[in-house]
Every structure is written in structure tokens, then in C-alpha cells.
Structure 1
Amino acid sequence: MATSERHAATLALAHALSAAERGLAVIPLSRSKLPALRSPHRDDPTPTVCHGECGRPGHGVYDATTDPSRIRQLFAAAPWATGYGIACGLAPHHLIGIDLDTKSPSDTSATLRELALRHLFTIEPTVVVVTPSGGRHLWLTGPPDVVVPNSASRLAPGIDVRGAGGYLVGPGSRTEHGVYSTVPGTTHLAPAACPRALLRLIAPATRACRPTAGGSPAQGHGLVQFVLAARIGQRNTRLFWAACRAYENGFGDSLAPELTDAAVRAGLSAREARATIASAARLTTGRPAGER
């Protein structure tokens, strides 16, 4: 192993041990940001469902631990690891990661502020990690009795959520694209509590998706306004997200004409808008838009 690689591996282990001292369960990661250890069941003749019960490493986030001796064992088994992942959803922090899109961090930050204003919540000072491409990870803690699922752009376009079963790349990790680092002044902060209003958005109660008769519910107005406010480069993404939320809540078909009109006013063609809404309908309901 080259000296630089050995140095990166040593630093990764040191950062992982430091995180574990704060109660954060960790696993080694490769430069690709994937778990460094491959599954011990990859050559099994039949698929095996195992979350580490076999006692061997290589089960991804299920290997995560705060035990220093176990962490050293994991990194010794993966000397090529140059980073570490922090498991979300585990005690004592029950960590939740809010991942702001690396492609347009200014836009996603503004979207998060818009959500905060609309739903009346404030995120207190917390750990913020900058990704090599300029995105940001906000660390929050959740209550032990609420399971927050992983999601991609469900909260808003370009904003992903890391919850139970997911992990965040830890600060100090070196990847193919650069190093993850903590925003100055947030390194020694404890993760802030996730506001209740935000928690309701990222861990919603299960609802049956039944089409409603007549006009769209009151929340449909907010989705329409969300599409109307789209700028160049956001229009199709915002429309798709809004349509998915409408169909998930059972009023997609009734809101579709208003969403189409809003998208056209924002700059899309009617044909593009209808195609995007149809895609959202197929994804969320398994049927084409308008079909009962």
C-alpha cells in the first residue's frame, strides 16, 4: 500500500474512533463512499438475508458500532478504507441527516428555508458537513419512538433524508471527489433536535391513497404555488415532486389540471407538463393519470 493511501486509512480510522466517542456508530467506507467490506454471502448459491447474525463483517450499516476494538477490527479487515459512515437512527442520537443537493446547494438551502417558513419550524445550530462538490449535510436527532425512513427528493426536490438503515459520510472521509469537512464553528456542536413540524414531513403517518371526489384539498394550493415559483432548471423537477405528493395523498387527478396550468405559466409546454404528471401517477399509484 502506498504511503499516501496508508496515511488516508490511518486518518479515517482516527476520525471514526473520534466519532464513536461521541456515541456515533460507524463503519469503514471505500473511496466510492460505499461500505468497504463486501458481503460474506456474495457467493452463496441462494440469496441470504442476514443483518450480521452470522457474526462476520460485511453487512454494511448493520456492522456499525461504537466499540473501539470492533472498529479497529473492521478497519483492519479493510485497509483500503479511506472514510467512514455514520449510521442513522441508532441510539443514543437517533441521527437524521438532511442532505442538500450537491448540484445546487443555494437552491436547496432556499427551498429548506421556504419549507421552514411554510410549516413554521426553525432548525437550531447543529453540525453541518460540506461535501466535496459543495452540498451540505445537516445533522439532527429524532425521538427514539419515531422511525424516519430514507428518502430521495420526497421532502423537496434535491433534498434527501438519511434515516433508519442509512448512513452519512463522516467528516474527514476522503473519497474519489475529495474530502468531507465540517463547517467551521459546528464541529463541536451536538446534533440539534429535529423540529416536530419537520419530523411530520419526513416521517408522515401512513395514509391510504384514495382519490377524492370534487376539487382538490386545501393543501393542493400549496403544491400549485410551489410549481409556480419554479425557476429555470427547477420546473420539471418541482412539477414531478408536487404531482407525486398529490397522488400520494389521493387528489392527484383532481389537481392535475391546476398543476398543468401552473407548469405552463412557469415555462414548460403543456405536453411536457402532462407527461411529467403522468409519470408521477405511474410511480405513486401504478396507473396512468386519470385512470380509475
Structure 2
Amino acid sequence: MATTDRQARTLALAHALSAAERGLAVIPLSRTKLPALRSPHRDDPDAPLCHGECGRFGHGVYDASTDPARIRELFAAAPWATGYGIACGLPPHHLIGVDLDTKSGTDSSAALRELALRHLFTIPPTVVVLTPSGGRHLWLTGPADTAVPNSAGRLAPGIDIRGAGGYLVGPGSRTAHGVYTTAPGTGHLTPAPCPPSLLRLLLPPPRAEHPARPSATAHGQGLVQFVLGVHEGQRNTRLFWAACRAYENGIGPALLAPLIDAAVDTGLTEREARATIASAARLTQGF
């Protein structure tokens, strides 16, 4: 067992150094996928907010580096590390991770395809990392002047986004559930630019200081009819789109019950409908 752990540590460092050569800043991870080094301020509740200014290790993605000497120091300080994390949002790639989860009970790949059809974008050939649970991480790059926030299920159920301040588990990492691997035919690729239409979906919408509140009657009824006119395979997508429009126009709370009723009529469960509408609310209200 000790030999296996030692081999995992050695491989993790080797993969991390290889990623750094490609301009990807890395940190060591434990088998739990969490940063291997704990905060040096964990026992001081009154410590000021520190992003590594203290000079010590243990600040998560703020420790991330592309410098081989520093990476070796990080791994030497965490000899139990069996994986590595790749910090998102940093130059030169400004990485954005699209995490297609399989644990939510939804088909996240289908949800992404539906979003692509609705918003007229395609995912270009890019690096794809396969997770031990059967999920996929798509690597994309963003503009240098745009910070994409982290989110969970905000784009669509089962789709999480790793942006500024977040990290992706790097291929070659060994976790408690297995090893992360690069999908065949994608390891040699450079992360592709995020399609503009998708990028707009990932960013919080601008919030008006005094938004107009239109009547919920005519516009709201149109959104309900839009949900009811669903075709097979589009129920969640239509409901999500309609709920986004409702919250953007200030009638989300008033339209909650009618949208749920319409979604149930199309075959969704009430629980699924509420989860989709909640995702739309989070997206449009920026939380």
C-alpha cells in the first residue's frame, strides 16, 4: 500500500510539472480532491483575510504556480498528495471548466446540447477530462478581461462551471474514487476559446437599479404557453428558459406556481420543476 501511495505521489508531481509546462498553474490535491495543504490560519479565527501574502503555503488556488521549483516545494510540503488541481481564470489560458456531472440524475450532456441548439453555439474541439464517476470536464479559455464566476447547476441542472477562484482536478490525479484521465484524442489539444454565446450565459446578467415590472398577465401567460408547447426532450430546457425570462422581467415569484403546473403537465415532476426554476432564479439574480 505504501508503495502504491508513493507511486501515486510521484505520478501526481510528474503530471503537475507537465501541466505547468503548458502554462497551467497547479496545486497539490489529496485523495478527497481538496487542496492537500491546510490553511496556516485555521487555528486563528481572528486572522485577516489572506491569499498567500503571509508567505506560507495552504491558501488553495492562491498557491497555484507554473514555476517548477515552487511546485516541487508544494508537493514536498504535502507528501500525501496523490493529485493536482489546475487553477482556472489565470493567464495565459484564463481557463474555464465545464463540468458535466452524472450524479444529479439528469443528462447533463443532453442539457448542454439543448443549450447549444437554443443559443446557436458549438463546443469546439478541446481538452476533455474523464472523471472516475463517468462525468466529463471540458476545458475552454476566456477573455483576459472577463472573470467567469464559479457556479453549480446555474447554467442547467448537472452542469457546474469552474471559473476564477476555482480549480479543475488534473488528468492523472488519483482520488478515492479512481483516476482522472484525458479523453482519447484530446490530450494534445490546446484549450479552445469559449464560444461567445456560451460565455454570455456564464456571466451574471447586468442588474438594473430600478427594473420595470411588467404585468404578469399577458407576458406571463405567454411563458406558460411556451412551456406547455414542449417537444420530447426539451422539457427542462423550455422551463429553464421561461423561468429565466420571468425572473429577468420581475415576475418570477408571481409565475412560480403557474410554471410548475405547466411543467408537471408536460411530464416533469414537481421536484424537477422546482429545481430547474431555482437554477434560473440563481442565474438571473446573480447568486
CA distance in 2, matches of 1:61, 1:67: 14
The answer (yes or no) to whether the contact 2:106–2:158 under 8 Å persists in 1 is no
Is 1:142–2:142 an aligned residue pair? yes
CA distance in 2, matches of 1:77, 1:256: 51
CA distance in 2, matches of 1:56, 1:226: 58
Deviation string for 1:3-54 (max 9, x for gaps)? 1111100000000000000000000000000000000001114143100000
Q: Which residue of 1 aligns with 2:68?
A: 68
Instruction: State the TM-score, normalizing by the size of structure 1.
Output: 0.84
The answer (yes or no) to whether the contact 1:230–1:238 under 8 Å persists in 2 is no
- 1:132 deviates by 0.1
Q: Which residue of 2 aligns with 1:25?
A: 25
Deviation string for 1:222-271 (max 9, x for gaps)? 9736987569xx97x996896477435523135335412322213357xx
For 1:50-129, what aligned pairs fall within 5 Å after superposition?
A: 50-103=50-103, 107-129=107-129
The answer (yes or no) to whether the contact 2:263–2:273 under 8 Å persists in 1 is no
CA distance in 1, matches of 2:37, 2:201: 34
The answer (yes or no) to whether the contact 2:213–2:249 under 8 Å persists in 1 is no
- 1:101 deviates by 1.0
Describe the shift of the 1:93–1:197 C-alpha distance in structure 2 as closer, same or farther (beyond 3 A).
same
Is 1:216–2:219 an aligned residue pair? yes
3-state DSSP class of the match of 2:52? coil
Instruction: State the TM-score, normalizing by the size of structure 2.
Output: 0.85
Task: Choose between structure 1 and 2 for higher RCO, CA contacts under 8 A separated by at least 6 residues.
Answer: 2
Q: Which residue of 2 aligns with 1:276?
A: 274
Q: Which residue of 2 aligns with 1:7?
A: 7
Describe the shift of the 1:222–1:171 C-alpha distance in structure 2 as closer, same or farther (beyond 3 A).
farther
- 1:275 deviates by 9.5
CA distance in 2, matches of 1:170, 1:219: 45
- 1:133 deviates by 0.6
Gaps of 5+ in 2: none
Describe the shift of the 1:228–1:5 C-alpha distance in structure 2 as closer, same or farther (beyond 3 A).
same
CA distance in 2, matches of 1:264, 1:195: 33
Q: Which amino acid aligns with 1:12?
A: A
CA distance in 2, matches of 1:227, 1:80: 51
Percent identity between the aligned chains? Answer: 71
Gaps of 5+ in 1: 286-292
Is 1:184–2:187 an aligned residue pair? no
Describe the shift of the 1:274–1:193 C-alpha distance in structure 2 as closer, same or farther (beyond 3 A).
closer
CA distance in 2, matches of 1:126, 1:172: 17
Q: Which residue of 1 aligns with 2:166?
A: 166
The number of residue pairs the alignment matches comes to 278
CA distance in 2, matches of 1:134, 1:89: 25
Deviation string for 1:187-240 (max 9, x for gaps)? 010001000000000013322384722233799479736987569xx97x9968
Q: Which residue of 2 aligns with 1:290?
A: none
- 1:162 deviates by 0.3
Deviation string for 1:143-166 (max 9, x for gaps)? 001110000111111101000000
Describe the shift of the 1:191–1:106 C-alpha distance in structure 2 as closer, same or farther (beyond 3 A).
farther
The answer (yes or no) to whether the contact 1:220–1:255 under 8 Å persists in 2 is no
CA distance in 2, matches of 1:188, 1:153: 29
CA distance in 1, matches of 2:240, 2:167: 26
The answer (yes or no) to whether the contact 2:260–2:274 under 8 Å persists in 1 is no
